[in-house]
Structure 1
């Protein structure tokens, strides 16, 4: 049987209706989402993120919305930060981070989450570059009788750009250390997410020591952003696999547009 994996920066649910329909239609076995908002016990649907003059609508119930769309999945939420969103002038404290959804007939036999840059901020979202985390799950596939480890991350955002920095290299080594807590060498390994990096980053050489190769760049894809993102620098999202991952299909999905990032779709046998 085929295992379908989707990795996507959900952009706080900004493109909510198309996103919900896409997830319902594709029904992935494993869904790795970045930029997921969660507001406990909030009775409204939309809030606003503000930073200076910049504002962005955020779906307060995004975690719950996706959970409802995928009722046959387990949801794992890994908050990276906690800070204010706004309902008019009223502050509403929210959490923001990663969410991994795994179909219930797949056994999660090991997992780890942790910070690969900074730590959970005690007050507000923190200064740039803000904390970043990763989440790894080791899954037993009964159809193949073997394990597969799937890791997602959201790489740090540096206001100076996507070039390599000491912090980004330290992040890469921290990610490798997190992977090694779960992954069993000799089993398939998938690493995905919004890396916030350029294709030539040293991060890929560091991950390459685990046998990982990126499918986005090696299969000729040159754009992981949608029309919602008007800037240059079209690479952000990557998906890497070890040689023992049997890839049946891989795509950087152009349509539908469900975020300012394109979804990465991987099917393995």
Structure 2
């Protein structure tokens, strides 16, 4: 079976652009949730709808020429993205690049009669993107400074440009029906959500995280040639396996007491089975033969990608609109499986050759050699004269400019020299944010142990990082407030032989902010912890200001404000303008006093990091 290498390289470039467009949509167009979700959806949808215009355009310009031109614009947009410093330029260049990629796919579908080599190229492109993303430890070339990323990008784009120019329509012996092209969009959604998401695999386990990435990347490579595995040559088994993997992925998000209640092997098994089954289903969908017209193929390709963005918003709307999302991966898997089942007579027998085995081995070795994100961790020490506590809402790792800023966030936290850090708005593998594990990456750069506190699900929540001995961990799921959910992570720590309780949280008030049930529950947790005889520290993005009714609930539980002497204490970067906002806090029960508070005005998130040194009363 031939593999269209131009498709493989094009898919790699397109997924690069997609990993910029989606987080830019949230951080730049969304403006930290200030833009209505419906308007964000309409903006994203418009780029996908515009791709349908390639079909009538083909009446005037030959589809191969449209594909060549659109592929060139995709290449150029990706090149320009590497030079942008973020902001609206990044958002709109990513949008243009995404649209160009979509038009390239539509025109390629219209110009291609035999879908099998193209589909093989799509599968190979997704596998290559998985390997590259894993080898870069989730920090794509787009977000890396210096000459080496430029060199690697030049190789990637140079190969794509060369193959794009040489690409010609496949032999006209067969004619693939449009349903083959319709499958690509839902398949891309499944790949980004979980089957090819190595950060998701790493987040599922506290140990052997690199091994998890290697396993997922290895099976992504295996998925390229499904015909080499006898059990995959007929569509029924991979179709069933794909749907089963989506169900397992959805069930694997269940929690027990706010902590993952499913063994890591469950999540990783769902990923690797899903990826191999996904490759086989796409291959079977491409064997569907029958008469069709170029316009039908183009509309099917554009329609499949429209399904992709609809599924994306169907899944992530749960974080804004209180909507259930467990149905999304299952529905996408059923769609791909159904398209595979209406395929032809099955896949021809095929064996792996030495070249593919060598490529697979090299890919696995590349992933095993990571992390490539960071070098040596700079040495640092917390202050000797008190307990230093920091809190930082990291906005999924993105700065005010919309650029990934995990490294800068970690470096800023190191300057604060904390014993304990509470991170809010952290994600661990979201497709919507580019598929990186921000908690692990920051913790590794600080050389701190981390405790993950899932809120809405296992890949969205808060985290506590510390250099201190941990004596206990308890995660409290808080009552419903905002749609992203909330928790209170209660951790027993030992500082200089003295036990204290650290509670990290990100409160999500109800839309009208009059319901005090969530903050009242937090106050009860504080009272219970203090009643056991240890001082209590609460830190995080509390989404309330001194003097609010919710603030009085917390102070009524015995908490005091060690930052009171320096109020107002703005926790929002000044570049955002507007009045002073004090919504990130460190609060303590009697037993601690505060000194040396800082809130550096840095643009690495839409919040400032804050820190204060707590001195124990004798």
Q: 2:587 aligns with which of 240, 243, 248?
A: 240
Mapped to 2, the partners of 1:58 and 1:207 lie a distance apart of: 36
SS in 2 for 1:117: coil
**Structure with larger Rg:** 2
SS in 2 for 1:101: strand
Gapped runs of 5+ residues in structure 1?
A: 49-56, 83-93, 120-127
Q: 2:477 aligns with which of 115, 119, 123?
A: 115
- Displacement of 1:60 after TM fit? 2.2
Q: Which residue of 2 aligns with 1:19?
A: 409
Q: 1:249 to 1:158 in 2, by over 3 A?
A: same
Does 1:156 find its partner at 2:508? Answer: yes
Does 1:63 find its partner at 2:415? Answer: no
Does 1:190 find its partner at 2:565? Answer: no
Q: Which residue of 2 aligns with 1:10?
A: 394
Q: Which residue of 2 aligns with 1:97?
A: 461
- Displacement of 1:231 after TM fit? 4.9
Mapped to 1, the partners of 2:396 and 2:422 lie a distance apart of: 14
Mapped to 2, the partners of 1:20 and 1:262 lie a distance apart of: 13
The 5-angstrom pairing of residues 48-87 of structure 1 reads 48=432, 57=433, 60-71=436-447, 73-82=448-457
Identify the structure with the greater helix proportion.
Answer: 2
- Displacement of 1:222 after TM fit? 4.2
Gapped runs of 5+ residues in structure 2?
A: 1-383, 400-404
Mapped to 1, the partners of 2:388 and 2:464 lie a distance apart of: 13
- Displacement of 1:114 after TM fit? 1.5
Higher relative contact order (CA 8 A, sep 6+): 1
- Displacement of 1:79 after TM fit? 0.9
- Displacement of 1:180 after TM fit? 4.0
Does 1:32 find its partner at 2:422? Answer: yes
Question: Residue 600 of structure 2 contacts residue 610 of structure 2 at CA under 8 Å; is this kept in 1?
Answer: no
- Displacement of 1:32 after TM fit? 0.5
Mapped to 1, the partners of 2:476 and 2:511 lie a distance apart of: 23
- Displacement of 1:26 after TM fit? 3.4
Question: Residue 226 of structure 1 contacts residue 261 of structure 1 at CA under 8 Å; is this kept in 2?
Answer: yes
Does 1:165 find its partner at 2:514? Answer: yes
Structure-2-length-normalised TM-score: 0.34
Mapped to 2, the partners of 1:209 and 1:185 lie a distance apart of: 18
- Displacement of 1:235 after TM fit? 2.5
Mapped to 2, the partners of 1:229 and 1:58 lie a distance apart of: 24
SS in 2 for 1:243: coil
Question: Residue 213 of structure 1 contacts residue 241 of structure 1 at CA under 8 Å; is this kept in 2?
Answer: yes
Question: Residue 454 of structure 2 contacts residue 462 of structure 2 at CA under 8 Å; is this kept in 1?
Answer: yes
Aligned length: 225
Q: 1:183 to 1:60 in 2, by over 3 A?
A: farther
Question: Residue 486 of structure 2 contacts residue 506 of structure 2 at CA under 8 Å; is this kept in 1?
Answer: yes
Mapped to 2, the partners of 1:211 and 1:179 lie a distance apart of: 8
Mapped to 1, the partners of 2:502 and 2:471 lie a distance apart of: 12
Mapped to 1, the partners of 2:511 and 2:589 lie a distance apart of: 32
Q: Which residue of 2 aligns with 1:87?
A: none
Mapped to 2, the partners of 1:214 and 1:108 lie a distance apart of: 25
Identify the structure with the greater strand proportion.
Answer: 1
Which deviates more from structure 2 when the two are superposed, residues 146-155 or residues 24-33?
24-33
Structure-1-length-normalised TM-score: 0.73
Question: Residue 476 of structure 2 contacts residue 490 of structure 2 at CA under 8 Å; is this kept in 1?
Answer: no
Does 1:146 find its partner at 2:498? Answer: yes
